[in-house]
C-alpha cells in the first residue's frame, strides 16, 4: 500500500502539537472541521488536499505559533498549607498553590488534551520580581503543577535586619512559597524548546537565591 505523504506529515505534526484545536488546524489547511475530526479519530486521511508542499507550509506556520502557549500569566496566588477535615495541618506543613477544591479550576496545569502538561513556569514575589524559573519535560514524572508545588517547599536563604538595637543583617531560611505571590505558566511541546527557553530566562533573571547557575543551550528544537 503506497504511503500517503500528507497523512504521514500530519501524523508527525499531530504527535508534536496535540494541543492545536480541530478548528485551528482546519482553518490553516482550508478544510472543514469535520474533515480534521475524521482524520484525528482514525476515519481516513485528509485526501482532498492537492499540494503536500502547500500543506507543509501551512502546518509549519501554525506550529510556529504553538511552540509556546500561555496557560496563566501573572496570576495572583498565596501558597498555603492544606488542612485536614478535622482542621489539623498535614504532617510536614507542605505548601501548595491551591487547596483541593480550588485546584480543579486550574486543570490545565495538570493536563492538556488528556496529556500531562509540560513546559515552563515562573514565580514572582509581591513586587512582581522573578524569584524562580522552572520546568517539567516529557519523560518527567511530575506535571507542571506537581513541579510547581514541589518548588514552593524549596528552602531559600534571605538576609534581613535583626530586630532590637543591632543593625546587623541576619540570615533567614524560609520556604520559597513564603515569598511567591504571582506565577506564570506556559505549555511547550518540545523538550529542547523547554530547555532553551528556561535557559534564556535563567540567564536573564539570574539571582543568588535560586537560579544561580547559567544553563547551557541545546542546538536543536526537539
Question: Mean of the pLDDT values across residues 98-104?
Answer: 85
Mean pLDDT (whole number) for 161-182: 78
Residue 4 has pLDDT above 70, yes or no: no
Q: What is the predicted pLDDT for the residue at 67?
A: 80
Q: Which three cell numbers stand for residue 189?
A: 511541546
Per-residue model confidence (pLDDT) at position 23: 82
Beta strand 119-124 with 182-187: parallel, antiparallel or unpaired? antiparallel
Is residue 14 classed as helix, strand or coil in its secondary structure? helix
Q: Report the pLDDT value the prediction gives residue 75, as an integer from 0 to 100.
A: 95
Rounded-to-integer distance, Cα 76 and Cα 79, Å: 10
The stretch 184-208 carries a mean pLDDT of 83
User: What is the predicted pLDDT for the residue at 119?
Assistant: 93
Phi-psi region of 42 (alpha: psi -120 to 50; beta: other; left: phi over 0): left
Residue 206 has pLDDT above 90, yes or no: no
Q: If you average pLDDT over residues 166-174, what whole number do you get?
A: 74
- pLDDT value for 77: 93
53 has a pLDDT exceeding 80 = no
- On whether the pTM is more than 0.75, the answer is no
Amino acid at each position: 500500500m503506497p504511503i500517503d505523504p500528507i497523512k504521514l506529515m500530519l501524523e508527525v505534526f499531530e504527535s508534536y502539537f496535540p494541543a492545536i484545536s480541530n478548528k485551528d488546524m482546519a482553518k490553516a489547511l482550508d478544510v472543514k472541521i469535520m474533515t480534521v475530526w475524521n482524520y484525528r479519530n482514525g476515519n481516513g486521511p485528509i485526501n482532498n488536499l492537492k499540494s503536500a508542499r502547500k500543506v507543509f507550509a501551512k502546518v509549519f506556520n501554525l506550529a510556529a505559533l504553538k511552540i509556546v502557549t500561555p496557560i496563566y500569566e501573572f496570576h495572583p496566588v498565596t501558597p498555603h498549607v492544606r488542612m485536614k477535615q478535622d482542621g489539623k495541618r498535614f504532617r510536614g506543613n507542605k505548601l501548595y498553590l491551591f487547596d483541593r477544591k480550588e485546584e480543579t479550576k486550574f486543570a490545565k496545569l495538570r493536563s492538556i488534551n488528556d496529556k500531562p502538561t509540560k513546559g515552563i513556569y515562573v514565580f514572582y514575589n509581591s513586587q512582581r520580581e522573578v524569584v524562580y524559573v522552572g520546568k517539567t519535560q516529557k519523560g518527567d514524572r511530575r506535571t507542571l503543577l506537581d513541579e510547581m508545588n514541589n518548588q514552593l517547599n524549596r528552602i531559600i536563604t534571605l538576609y534581613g535586619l535583626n530586630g532590637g538595637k543591632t543593625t546587623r543583617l541576619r540570615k533567614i531560611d524560609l520556604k520559597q512559597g513564603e515569598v511567591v505571590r504571582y506565577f506564570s505558566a506556559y505549555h511547550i511541546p518540545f523538550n529542547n524548546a523547554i530547555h532553551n527557553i528556561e535557559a534564556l530566562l535563567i540567564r536573564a533573571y539570574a539571582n543568588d537565591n535560586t537560579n544561580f547557575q547559567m544553563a547551557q543551550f541545546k542546538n536543536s528544537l526537539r
